[in-house]
Amino acid sequence: MKEPSAPNTLIHVIAERCSGCRRCEIACSMVHCGIPTPQRSRIRILPLPRRTGFIPVLCQACEDAPCLKTCPMNARLRTAEGAVVTDEESCIGCRACLYICPYGAPTVSPDDGKTLTCDRCAGEPGGPWCVAACRDCGALEAVRPEELFVRGSRAAARTLRHVWSPPRSRRCAS
Amino acid sequence: MRILIIGNGIAGGEVAFGLRRAGSADEITILSAEEVPEYDPCSLPYFLGRDVPRPRVFRRRFEDYSSAGIRLETGDAAVAIDPQARRVHTSSGREYAFDRLVLAHGGSLFVPPIPGIDKPGVHRCKQLPEADRLDRHRGSAAVVIGSGAIGIEAAEALKKRGYAVTVIEVMDWILPALFDPETAGRLKRRLERCGIAALTGERVLRIEGTQAVAAVVTDRRTIACDTVVLATGIVPGVALARTAGIEVGRGIRVNERLETRVSGIFACGDCVETVDACTGEDAMFQLKHNAIEQARIVVRNLRGEPAAYPGAWAFARAHFFDTHAVSFGKTTRATQCELGQLEIIEREAGEDYLRVILKEGIIVGGQAIGRFADAAGLLIGAMWRRESIPLLRARRELLGGPPTATPWTTRKLGELLGLTG
């Protein structure tokens, strides 16, 4: 069994910025399959009801990932970089990892029914392709794990300031 | 400290290797009744169906044990425990002393008292040697007794190998522990479309044949066959503990630290009686993920960290040919003798089907076939969070409104349950 080590790159999702253009899906399938086929993408853009927004869904590589424990073939593996991937040699396409996933993240391959998940483009010198493809919107960012919480807190603070900014008159009263 | 583990299955292996991962320098010994390194019983039907080669069923190799400094004693079953003298006696007559003992010997197949059940040609599919025997067997017509997950998977494997397959279930619907009749009926039709006959509400009376199996006689018909597979369920192995004076119920009784009533003796895996993590009720979910989680709790307690086990959870998939289904939490039958207002939400789209069981407005279980199953994780999350579905319904305008108010998982949940209209 492989031991998890410190992850080097995480993909930080800022869903509010997603325009639903799905360039990330094309980039992902390009780098992994060599042809632009969004059905084979490991990141998926989920439209919210009535298209009020879009959520980029990809494997979060949970610390205590339930898919690692429920796969009947032990085909879900933690890589040295901390990602959780499917070993295609062992996968039988039963979808247990998809069904137990809190996000429904794994993609079922249209070719063989096996599951595909984000490996954060391990070995690609330019980093994850989806992040590069999302440059215009900036909904995806490659971050170091220690940066993630800082960015998350700042983003939350920005949102709260927007939602809860007190009326001008009261702000002056203090 | 000498730590002795009885059983080299998922739970036993996870305890031994988990201890080493946690930095333990203890003397660790695993006693195994089998001759092989740890394998995954869940994988066996797929080896049988030739979806994967045999080596893929193994979770570890012999070298893994030696390199981790874990002593593995194979082919020697524990037959008696002396809790006072802190010793375990084995079938070969050897004795093992321990400071801490972990019972992880799992369960065994329930063998129904059917005349002819020991005839050649009657197979099992729980352990690797049994699957090997069935793999070597040459037959053309098989009857699978029992339609649980293992029964259905074995039926699929045999069908792929060219057998004519009939599944017999004594209950009125297939997969009775996992699915409600409405869901199971749909699965049964799909099973039959794949060429596997499923007979429900039928009792096997005897297995006939002068030397080997020739036919299975039920209360309604006689089915000619040359192969019988028993998939009649797993009963927890409690005899070893009971004879040692360790308290047992349906399984070995443990406290929340997974320690038995005898101090220093722990138990985990299929042999243990636990509680349902969602409801707190007594439960026996003999599933792999529970064995792994229990083993990790045992490791922490063995390391001197008092860790409490939150409970087991029910989650299983049913998968044959191009049919994919999932079940989690309770079935309607399991909620039948409880107080509380039940509500069933059903959705259907073509062949896909979703069935969610609510008690007092909170999801307690669900089943899905096809596309609906892909979002099962959202339902499971809502069940764990005890999200109020009536409240969601009352606030349905927020589900489609600006994306600030409601998390996207909840919004997708609303869509999945058909609340957004």
pLDDT of B189-244, one tens digit each?
A: 999 999 999 999 999 999 999 999 999 999 999 999 999 999 999 999 999 999 99
Residues of B contacting chain A (CB within 8 angstroms): 17, 21, 40, 42-43, 46, 51-52, 56, 59-60, 288-289, 292-293, 315, 317, 319, 324, 326, 373-378, 380-381, 399-404, 408-409, 411-412, 414-415, 420
- Residue B245, token pair as written in the block: 């004076």
- Residue A141, token pair as written in the block: 């960012």
The residues, ordered by sequence, that sit 6+ positions from B219 with a Cβ below 8 Å of its Cβ are: B202, B203, B205
CA distance B376 to chain A (A): 5
CA distance A107 to chain B (A): 10
- Res. A172 pLDDT band, cuts 50 70 90: very low
Do the beta carbons of residue B179 and residue B188 sit within 8 Å? no
User: What is the structure's pLDDT at A70?
Assistant: 96
CA distance A50 to chain B (A): 6
Q: DSSP secondary structure string, B256-277?
A: TTSB-SSTTEEE-STTEEEEBT
User: What is the structure's pLDDT at B111?
Assistant: 95
Helix (H) or strand (E) segment spanning residue B240: helix B239-243
Helix (H) or strand (E) segment spanning residue B326: strand B323-329
- Residues of B within 8 A of A1 (CB-CB) are 17, 59-60
- Residues of A within 8 A of B319 (CB-CB) are 93-95
- As a whole number of angstroms, the distance between CA A137 and CA A141 comes to 10
Which position has the token pair 């073939």? A73
Determine the residue among A48, A92, A99 to mutate to test chain B binding: the one whose Cβ has the most chain B Cβ atoms within 10 Å: A99
- Residue B202, token pair as written in the block: 């039928």
Query: Do residue A92 and residue B52 have CB atoms under 8 angstroms apart?
Result: yes
- Residues of B within 8 A of A112 (CB-CB) are none
User: What is the structure's pLDDT at A85?
Assistant: 96
Q: What is the ipTM of this complex?
A: 0.93
Backbone angles phi, psi at A31, to 5 degrees: -70, -30
CA distance A104 to chain B (A): 6
CATH topology of domain A59-117: Alpha-Beta Plaits (3.30.70)
- Res. A3 pLDDT band, cuts 50 70 90: very low
pLDDT of A12-53, one tens digit each?
A: 999 889 999 999 999 999 999 999 999 999 999 999 877 778
Residue A131: DSSP 8-state: H
Query: Do residue B377 and residue A16 have CB atoms under 8 angstroms apart?
Result: no
User: What is the structure's pLDDT at B400?
Assistant: 67
Interface A-B: count of C-beta contacts within 8 A:
98
**Which among B46, B60, B289 has the least Cβ separation from residue A70?**
B289
pLDDT of B85-126, one tens digit each?
A: 999 999 999 999 999 999 999 999 999 999 999 999 999 999
- How many other CB atoms sit within 10 Å of the CB of residue A27? 22
User: What is the structure's pLDDT at A173?
Assistant: 44
Residue B205: DSSP 8-state: E
User: What is the structure's pLDDT at B404?
Assistant: 60
Q: Name the residue among A70, A111, A78 with its Cα closest to residue A94.
A: A70
Question: Left (φ > 0), alpha (ψ -120 to 50) or beta: where does B209 sit?
Answer: left
Domain at B122-230: CATH code: 3.50.50.60
User: What is the structure's pLDDT at B405?
Assistant: 65
CATH architecture of the domain covering B322-416: 3-Layer(bba) Sandwich (3.50)
Q: Where exactly does CATH 3.50.50.60 map onto chain B?
A: 2-107+234-302, 122-230, 322-416
- Residue B7, token pair as written in the block: 């059983």
- As a whole number of angstroms, the distance between CA B108 and CA A173 comes to 75
Query: Do residue B402 and residue A16 have CB atoms under 8 angstroms apart?
Result: no
Interior/surface letters B402-419, b for 16+ CB within 10 angstroms, e for the rest: ebeebebbbbbbbbbbeb
- As a whole number of angstroms, the distance between CA B40 and CA B56 comes to 9
CA distance A68 to chain B (A): 9
CA distance A139 to chain B (A): 15
pLDDT in single tens digits along all 421 residues of chain B: 999 999 999 999 999 999 999 999 999 999 999 999 999 999 999 999 999 999 999 999 999 999 999 999 999 999 999 999 999 999 999 999 999 999 999 999 999 999 999 999 999 999 999 999 999 999 999 999 999 999 999 999 999 999 999 999 999 999 999 999 999 999 999 999 999 999 999 999 999 999 999 999 999 999 999 999 999 999 999 999 999 999 999 999 999 999 999 999 999 999 999 999 988 888 888 999 999 999 999 999 999 999 999 999 999 999 999 999 999 999 998 888 788 899 999 999 999 999 999 999 999 999 999 999 999 999 999 999 999 999 888 887 777 666 566 788 888 898 899 887 5
Q: Which CATH superfamily is domain B2-107+234-302 in?
A: FAD/NAD(P)-binding domain (3.50.50.60)
* Own/partner long-range contacts of B17-23 (Cβ < 8 Å, ≥24 apart): B17/A1, B17/B60, B17/B64, B17/B68, B17/B70, B18/B295, B18/B296, B18/B299, B19/B299, B19/B302, B19/B303, B20/B68, B20/B69, B20/B70, B21/A3, B22/B299, B22/B300, B22/B303
In chain A, domain spans: 59-117
- Res. A146 pLDDT band, cuts 50 70 90: confident
Q: Name the residue among B183, B196, B409, B211 with its Cα closest to residue B317.
A: B183
Query: Do residue A49 and residue B400 have CB atoms under 8 angstroms apart?
Result: yes
- Residue B184, token pair as written in the block: 């199971």
Do the beta carbons of residue B386 and residue B361 sit within 8 Å? no
Query: Do residue B415 and residue A49 have CB atoms under 8 angstroms apart?
Result: yes
Q: Name the residue among A4, A13, A45 with its Cα closest to residue A28.
A: A45
Report the residue of chain B nearest A100, measured CA to CA. B377
- Residues of A within 8 A of B314 (CB-CB) are none
Determine the residue among B52, B63, B396 to mutate to test chain A binding: the one whose Cβ has the most chain A Cβ atoms within 10 Å: B52
- Residue B118, token pair as written in the block: 């020991």
Helix (H) or strand (E) segment spanning residue A44: strand A44-47
- Residues of B within 8 A of A66 (CB-CB) are 289
Query: Do residue A15 and residue B408 have CB atoms under 8 angstroms apart?
Result: yes
Backbone angles phi, psi at A7, to 5 degrees: -70, 145
Indicate whether A2 pLDDT > 50.
no
- As a whole number of angstroms, the distance between CA B413 and CA B265 comes to 44
Interior/surface letters B32-70, b for 16+ CB within 10 angstroms, e for the rest: bbbebbbbbbbbbbbbbbebbebebbbbbeeebbeeeeb
Task: Find the mean pLDDT for residues A99-119.
Answer: 95
Indicate whether A4 pLDDT > 70.
no
- How many other CB atoms sit within 10 Å of the CB of residue A70? 22
Report the residue of chain A nearest B374, measured CA to CA. A99
Query: Do residue A73 and residue B40 have CB atoms under 8 angstroms apart?
Result: yes
CA distance A174 to chain B (A): 29
**Separation of CA A171 from chain center:** 39
Report the residue of chain B nearest A55, measured CA to CA. B408
User: What is the structure's pLDDT at A158?
Assistant: 80
Residues of A contacting chain B (CB within 8 angstroms): 1, 3, 15-16, 46, 48-50, 52-53, 55, 66, 69-70, 72-74, 89-90, 92-96, 98-104, 108, 159, 163
